[in-house]
Structures are given as structure tokens and as C-alpha cells.
Structure 1
Amino acid sequence: MVVRSPAEATRRWWVLAVLCLSVLLVSVDNTIVNVALPTLAAELSADTSGLQWVVDGYTLVFAALLLLGGHLGDRFGRLRVLQVGLVLFGVTSLLAALAGTTGQLVAARAAMGAAAALVFPATLALLVVAFPDRRERATAIGVWSAVTGLSVAIGPVSGGLLLEHFAWGSVFLVNLPLVALALVAGRVLLRESRSAEHGRFDVGGVLGSVAGVGLLVWTTIEAPGHGWTAPLTLAGYAAAALLLAGFVRWELRRPDPLLDVRLFTDRRVSAASVAIALAFFALFGFIFLITQYLQAVLGYGTLAAGVATLPFATVIAVTSPVAVLLVRRVGTAVVVTAGLLVMAAGFAVAAGAAVDSAYWGRIVVSMVLMAAGLGLVTSPATETVMGALRAGQAGAGSAVNDTVRELGGTLGVAVVGSVTSTVYAPAVRDGLAGLPAAVRDAATDSVVAGLAAASRLPDGVAAAEVVRRSFVDGLSAGSWVCAAACVAGALVAAVWLPARRPAAVPVPEPVPAA
């Protein structure tokens, strides 16, 4: 039992507030851009693949560099790396706001992802150090997880509010004052910590992880355009598999690996990581679609589309703390399995959406189920991963947790977006069969491009209806993919996740900076 003074106990919760602000900044940018996708499609002439890269340019680099970010925090100091990441995040946010083409925006988003990879693992590592008491740490991780979940709704709402009054660049400029606040508060409240021991820098591990993850996601995003069985697609998947297998072998042979892959032989780590990855795979994939559905199909404005996600925020804010209490009563495996099954039910409800579905019906019900399920999954699974680590692995452990979360989300956008495109494009071509080839080709780029092409036709109303129906068909197919991912995660959690947490959870002690 760790005894602290009342002042120290109060300070810890202020520390949590600063860490939550920092993690909120980088988490919101996973979703804030989604509500701007129709605007970007119109103003930057971005097709579906380009829109996917606007989203995945951030999440891909974020996921690929998280292991490196966690390792740098353990080696050089978590507070130092956190603050460097925040500064870089502010600079790259400004570059994104000033982008004039889709390519420039994707490049700026990728740079933002690199900065976020320094911030995200440092927040969870510093949290574990700040809360040595197990019960308090479980509550703190529940709050931290709730904030990352709330970003799913905060992003679209804040993005919609900004787009209602300002240009699309404002969704990035809003980061600047928040970065300044997080930097000042962090300097006042946070204490430096680092791992007591570290070996040589693992250059091969960094290159292998970045190349393997990057090629895997790139191949998935581009597969609909090249064809799922095209030689380029098959070669991309084969090369990605070889790179990732080589990365694992390299890490197993090193005495000081970037990622100790032996961690995954502990079923607490492996099963909880799979649960987190598949939950965020489904969530991010669906969000990529639902923001376009609300605006292009139901006709919502950017602000209305953002506000429409508020039920998600409300429900996850309620269920995340409840999940901590339920784990103490019925165990981790039951709570995480139930959460994934509830999420699957939400996606199944969404799969039945139509062009004229009422928001206060099927849409709200589906979001409530998804949010409730996510709240039950994230904090128990995160605490399970962190609880399986030995002292000194706070940065590595948080990087593992964050990497599977971001990699799952990145692949979710790529896979679900690709499945939707695979269904949408042929349906539009068939539905507009009597129109010129140039019109049909333009309409297949995205639902926004399809509606723009329809608006220029004499019988534009009928053509627009074809475009909307085709997108809803794609949304349905993507939702079923999300539901299947959650069911698979529930099976893994039920079979492999231990019912109870370990009796003791080791906590790394802070090592003062030199």
C-alpha cells in the first residue's frame, strides 16, 4: 500500500487532467477531420482514395511510430518526449491548415501523426507512474480511456462547429491554443521519469515495423482501384507479411529490442491487445462512413452531423466508469466479451440503414450500442495490458496498447473504406448505365463526387437517388464487416482473456532526468 500526503493525492488528479488534455488533442485528430471529408472532397477535388489517405495519413504514421515513441520516452524521459511531441504537433497542425492540395494535406497529416506518436504513449506511461495504487490506477485508466473514447464524438462536434463558421483549415488551427495550455500545465505539474535501464537503439526494429505496417495499410487502401486479386495487391500483401515476419524474428534475436514480442506469449497481453485492435478497427471504419452518410445521404450540415454523434459521447462517458466497477464484480473476460458483443449488435443495426432512415431510430440506437460496448472494452483491456508488465516497461507497454489501438483503427478505415468502395462503384455504374462514361466514372470516385455529377444532369434527382442508394449499400457491407470483427474479438476475449486481473501489478518507479 503506497501512502501519500493529501496534497500529493490531490496533485495526482491534476496530473491526470493534464495527461487527458494531451491525449485528447491527438485522439480528436483521429476523428475531427471526418466531418470535413465532404468539404475536402468538394474543395480539394479528393476522390475516395484521397479521402482515405487524409484520414490514414495521420493514423498510419501514428501507428507505425508509436513503438518508437514509447521507446524514446523510456530512454530519454517521458515528460521530455511528451513536450517535444506537443510542440511538433502544434507546428504540423499549422502546416495542415495551410495546405492547398490533397497531397499537401496528406503530407501534413502524416507529420502530425509522427508528432502524436511521441505524445500518446508518454501520457499512459506517466499515468502509471503517477498512480502506484492499483485501485486508483484502475480508476485513472478508466478516465483516460473514457477521454480517448469521448474524442470519437468531440472530434465531429467541434469540427462541425468550426466548419459552420470558418474555413476547413480551422479544424487544425484549433489545436494551437490547446497545445500551448498542455505545454504550460505539463511543465508545472508533471514530473520526469524514464526507464532505469536501456540498451542500444534498435534501428532495424524501427525500419522493419514502419515498412511492414505502412505497406500493409497502403496495399489495403489501394486494393479496390487495382483489384483485390491483382498482382500488385497480392505482391503488396506478401511483401508486408515478409517484412512483419522479419521484424518479429529480428526482435526475438536482439537483447534490447524495440518491442519485446515475447510479451505476447502472455495471454493477458495478446488477448487484450486483440480485443482493443478489433474494437477500434470496427469503430474507426464505421466513423469514416457515418459522417459521409449523415451529410451526403441524410443531408445534414457539418455542425448537425457533428452534433448527431453526441449520444456516443454521452453513453461512453457513463459506461467507462461502470466498466471499472463491473470488472471488480464479474471479472475482465466477461466485461470485455460483453462489450464486443454489444458493439457487434450496434453495427448489425446500422447495417440495416436505408436512404430514408430516421436519425431518432435506427441511427441513434446503433450509436448507443457501439458506445456502450466500447466503454466496456477499452479501460478493462488497457488495464490488463499494463498490469502484465514488469517494472521499467511503462513506455513499452503503453506503446503496445496504443499501437494495437491505432493500427486497428487505421486498418479499419482502410478495410471498411475499401469494402464500401468495392460495393459502391459497381452499383453506381450499373445504376447510371444510360449516362456517358465520363459521368459514371466521376460518380464512382466518392458519394460527394457522385452527387456533384448528378447535380449537373437534366434528371439529376433520379441520378442522385442512385448515388445515395449505392453508398448505403456500401455502408451496409462495411457495417457487417465491423460486426464480424467485433464477434471475432469477443470469441478471443472469451477463450483467452483471464477472468481476473493479476494479484499484483508492478509499477515502474520514476527516474529523475539527468
Structure 2
Amino acid sequence: MNTRDPRRWLILVVLCLSTLVLVIDNMVLTVAIPPMAADLGADVQDIQWILDSYILVFAALLLTAGSLSDRYGRRRAMIVGLALFGGASLVATFATEPVQLIAARAVMGLGGALIMPSTLSILITVFDDTERRKAMAAWSAVATLGLVGGPVLGGALIAWFWWGAVFLINVPIAVLAIIAAVVLMPESKGPRTKPDPLGAILSAAGMTALVWTLIELPHGLSWPSLAVAVACLAVFVIWELRTPHPMVPLTLFRNRAFSGASFSLTLVQIGNGGLLLVLTQFLQYVLGYSPTQAGLAFVPMALASLTFNTLGATLGKRIGNRFMVGGGLGVMAAGFGLLAGLSAEAGGVMTAVALFVLGAGGGLAMPAAISALMGTIPPAHAGVGSALNSTIQQMGAALGIAALGSVVSSGFTAGMPAGATEQARRSIGDALALGEPAIADAARQAFTSAMSSAFTISAGGVVAAAVLALIVMRDRSDDTPVDAAKPLAAAEV
């Protein structure tokens, strides 16, 4: 844009607030499950649906929501999303049975699908090239802060109040963000084009089936859902390449900065996906931390990320996105390598060092990767372009949780002594619940060994992401928006 909006930094605060409410909600829920399940009488299947109903709806509608925001207005989409998210959070707060909470979580997923692409798309339309990197760094830092601070906040809310407080906290944040958006934020939208209902149906069906396949992967591959996912997404790609008014401009992948950053972020998210899932168990079951202490253990990662986000935004202007992404991912890989070497004897100091290194690498790499990716998206497709970015990362995170969870689970079972009971082999929590010192020691050793394998795989994935970024991405000369109207050549598909 030619004229800078004088309220752009206040608008950034609103965008960060909107993103923060999504990130914190997902993270605080992880510590609220035990008291919530006990109060509602939820069984294992109910708990799975409470967790999965959100991600299924969110992933299924993300691309459609991004396309709608481009068509009908990004501010409008964000406000509607915040209203749905806040209202559903209020319902979830006072749920008295599992089905009510599952329904509320599904509506929250719809709200999140409208919020997430709108925040990034508004950001890239409000800030010009000279300030966009700083804005991206601030947005990324807030997202990281929510990711790390969520479990700490959740533990505090449950200790002081009750499990419903983890949902109630969303309501005032959503209301404040809505008021600020109405007062401060200009509306922006792309050109009105014909809707693509077939594309919306195919993407929703394909993404739902794919996410469900990933969710069920630790329990075995679901061939029917995988077949539906492959079929729907293959037809979706073919249709989007042929229709004159595609919902998703797949021509974006023709740009090396977009494709390189996208697939690098996917590999990184595969490694990051299982981080909290695995490490929080190590901290509590092996090192003996309380839930609140386990949350506080991630503070070094948050501090490093916040510090190096600022440094990354400054250095990125001098050395370009490609080397910032490659170098930052190299530091992240070193952090995962340190995590792979953790043991019960190493204690919390080594954990803090490893997480600090991991946060520093993420602070250097992630703003540059997102800046390179979003800088290639034409303003007309800012909403669906940012939704495409979010969808790719969500798939990477879901795959990481499923794959690394399976590695830890199978490694733990294999590492337990032959004489251990079936209950002791199920999980480290089940093994410790038996109260037998010999079994407990064996379980801690087996879990630590399995965790080491998982983080070694994560380190390898991040190294692959760094190499991919250095090879595929170009420097600033490639950060030009793609002409989404230009057909994609066969050789480029």
C-alpha cells in the first residue's frame, strides 16, 4: 500500500490478541483434561472427541474460510470468527455433559478457521514491505508466547478456580478484540469472483478425512479415511487447476520462496508437533515435576524466541530470508539434538539449555520463513494464501503428533522388561501407577530412550527443512507476488 495506516501498530495489537486467544485455548486444554473428565464423567472416547472436534472443523474449513474472507472482507470474517469463538467458549465454560462440550469445541473450530487466516492476511495488507518483517516477528513472538504460556496459565486457572475457567478466559479477550477491530481496523477484501462451491466441498471433505487419518494413526492406519482423503484432495487439485475461478490459487507453489518456505515449515512442524506431548511427560513422570513446574520449564524457550525474533527481524533485512531460515533451522536442529540426549541424571538444567537453543533457532527462522511466504501472496488472495500456509503447518503438526507419538509409544513398549504386565507396557503413567519401584525405574528408562529416538527424528526433519530452504528458496529478488491469474504450466505442477 502506498500510504501507511497511522493506526497500523494498534491494529497489530488486535491481530496478535486474536491469534493469542486461539493458541492459548489449545494449550490450556491439555492441563484441564483430568479434572474436566472427572467432573463431566467423560470416558476415553469422549475426551478424544473433545480434543478432536476442534481440529477436525478447524482444518476442514480453513481454506474455505480464507477464501470467504477474501471475498466478503477480512475484518468481517475475523469479527464473526471471534464472536463464534467467544460465544462457544462461554457455552463450554458451563457445559454439564460431554456432548455439550464437544459441540462447543466444534463451533470454536469454526471460529478459529475464520480468525487465523484473517489475522495474517490483514497484517500483510496493513504493513508495507519495509515494516512487514517487524510485524511478522511480533506476531510470531506472541504466538510462541501463547504456546509456551498456555500450560502455565491453564495450571494456574485450574488451581485457583475450576476447569471451566480455561474457556471463560477466552470471552473477555474475544470481546476486547472485536471492539478494537471495529474501532481501529480498516476493511480489506479481494476482487469479487465467482464462488467455487465444488472446491469448498472437496477441500472440506478431503481435509477432514486426512486429519482423521492422522489422529487415528497411533492406533493403526485407517484405510477408508485415507482413501477418501487421497481421492477428494486429488480431485480438488485437478479441479482447482482447471476451473477459471479457483478457490485456492495453486499457482502460488510456482514461486520458489512460497514453496520452499511452505515445505520447510511443514517439516519443522512435524518435529515441533510432538514436542509438548513428549517433553511434558518426561518432565512430570521422569523428573517428577508438577504440571505447573512442567509449564514453567518452557519459559527459557519463550524468552529465547522473543529475544531472537527481534534479532531475526533485524538480520533478515541484511542477509535475506533464505540464509535466515537455513541458519535458524540449523540452530533448531541442535536444540532437538540436545533434547535427544536428555536423561534423568541431566535434570532440569540441560532441559532449559536445550529449550533455549530450540527457541533461539525458532526465533531466527520462523519470522523469516513466514515473511518470505506471505510476501509472495498477491493482495487479492491474502486470505486464502494465509489459510493455505496455516493448513500446511497444521498438517505437519498433526503428522508430527501422530508419528512421534507412535515412536514413543512403540519404543516404550519395546523397552520395558519381559516380565512387565500389560498395564505397565501401555504407558509410563500406567506403569508408575502400579507403585512398584523396579517397574517404575524400568519405565523411566524405557520412556527416556523412546523420547531420545523421537527427538533424533525431529532433529533430522529440521535439518532436512534447512537444506530444503537453502536449495529451493531464493533471496529477496524472489519475494514478489505471484500472478494468480496466470495458468500453471504442466511442468510446474
Deviations 1:64-96 (A, max 9, x none): 322111111111111111111111111222344
- Counterpart AA for 1:269: F
- Matched with 2:215 is 221
Choose the corresponding residue for 2:68, options 72, 84, 108: 72
Number of matched pairs: 483
**Aligned mates of 2:139, 2:245 — CA distance in 1:** 29
Is it true that 1:369 corresponds to 2:363 in the alignment?
no
Q: Calculate the TM-score normalised by the size of structure 2.
A: 0.89
Deviations 1:177-219 (A, max 9, x none): 111111111111112221122212x222223223323323322
Verify the 8 A CA contact 2:217 2:402 in the aligned structure 1. Answer: no
- Counterpart AA for 1:479: F
Unpaired runs of 5+ residues, structure 1, are 227-231, 509-514
**Aligned mates of 2:152, 2:477 — CA distance in 1:** 36
**Aligned mates of 1:182, 1:392 — CA distance in 2:** 24
Q: SS of the residue aligned with 1:383?
A: helix
Query: 5 Å matches for 1:32-431?
Result: 32-36=28-32, 55-99=51-95, 105=101, 107-131=103-127, 133-200=128-195, 202-226=196-220, 233-234=222-223, 236-361=225-350, 363-428=351-416, 430=417
Deviations 1:353-402 (A, max 9, x none): 223431112x1122112111111222111111222122311112211222
- Matched with 2:24 is 28
Verify the 8 A CA contact 1:432 1:463 in the aligned structure 2. Answer: no
Verify the 8 A CA contact 2:218 2:403 in the aligned structure 1. Answer: no
Verify the 8 A CA contact 2:372 2:479 in the aligned structure 1. Answer: no
Shift of 1:327: 1.7
Deviations 1:3-24 (A, max 9, x none): 45xxx52x11111111110111
Q: SS of the residue aligned with 2:274?
A: helix
Q: Which moved more, 1:260-269 or 1:15-24?
A: 260-269
- Counterpart AA for 1:394: A
**Aligned mates of 2:59, 2:308 — CA distance in 1:** 26
- Matched with 1:474 is 450
Q: SS of the residue aligned with 2:80?
A: helix
Verify the 8 A CA contact 1:52 1:414 in the aligned structure 2. Answer: no
Q: SS of the residue aligned with 1:393?
A: helix
Shift of 1:495: 0.7
Deviations 1:248-281 (A, max 9, x none): 1121122222211121121111111112222222
Evaluate the alpha carbon distance shift between residue 55 and residue 341 of structure 1 in structure 2; reply closer, same or farther with a 3 A threshold: farther
- Matched with 1:512 is none
Q: Calculate the TM-score normalised by the size of structure 1.
A: 0.86
Q: SS of the residue aligned with 2:396?
A: helix
- Matched with 1:2 is 2
- Counterpart AA for 1:216: L
**Aligned mates of 2:342, 2:49 — CA distance in 1:** 26
- Counterpart AA for 2:2: V
Shift of 1:476: 2.0
Choose the corresponding residue for 1:499, options 468, 475, 491: 475
Q: SS of the residue aligned with 2:380?
A: coil
Q: Which moved more, 1:365-374 or 1:29-38?
A: 29-38
Evaluate the alpha carbon distance shift between residue 173 and residue 462 of structure 1 in structure 2; reply closer, same or farther with a 3 A threshold: farther
Shift of 1:411: 2.1
Shift of 1:40: 6.0
Verify the 8 A CA contact 1:220 1:418 in the aligned structure 2. Answer: no
Q: Which moved more, 1:331-340 or 1:397-406?
A: 397-406
Choose the corresponding residue for 1:447, options 422, 428, 431: 428
Verify the 8 A CA contact 2:375 2:479 in the aligned structure 1. Answer: no
Deviations 1:132-170 (A, max 9, x none): x31112211221122122222121221122133233332
Shift of 1:477: 2.5
- Matched with 2:489 is none
Percent identical: 40
**Aligned mates of 1:101, 1:354 — CA distance in 2:** 41
Deviations 1:416-469 (A, max 9, x none): 2222222234445x4553x4xxxx24x4554334433x14xxxx2223333333
Shift of 1:117: 0.8
Evaluate the alpha carbon distance shift between residue 356 and residue 372 of structure 1 in structure 2; reply closer, same or farther with a 3 A threshold: same
Task: Provide the aligned C-alpha RMSD in A.
Answer: 2.7
Q: SS of the residue aligned with 2:65?
A: helix
Evaluate the alpha carbon distance shift between residue 23 and residue 223 of structure 1 in structure 2; reply closer, same or farther with a 3 A threshold: closer
Verify the 8 A CA contact 1:30 1:59 in the aligned structure 2. Answer: no
Verify the 8 A CA contact 2:286 2:444 in the aligned structure 1. Answer: yes
**Aligned mates of 1:55, 1:341 — CA distance in 2:** 32
**Aligned mates of 1:53, 1:281 — CA distance in 2:** 22
Evaluate the alpha carbon distance shift between residue 168 and residue 298 of structure 1 in structure 2; reply closer, same or farther with a 3 A threshold: farther
Shift of 1:502: 4.0
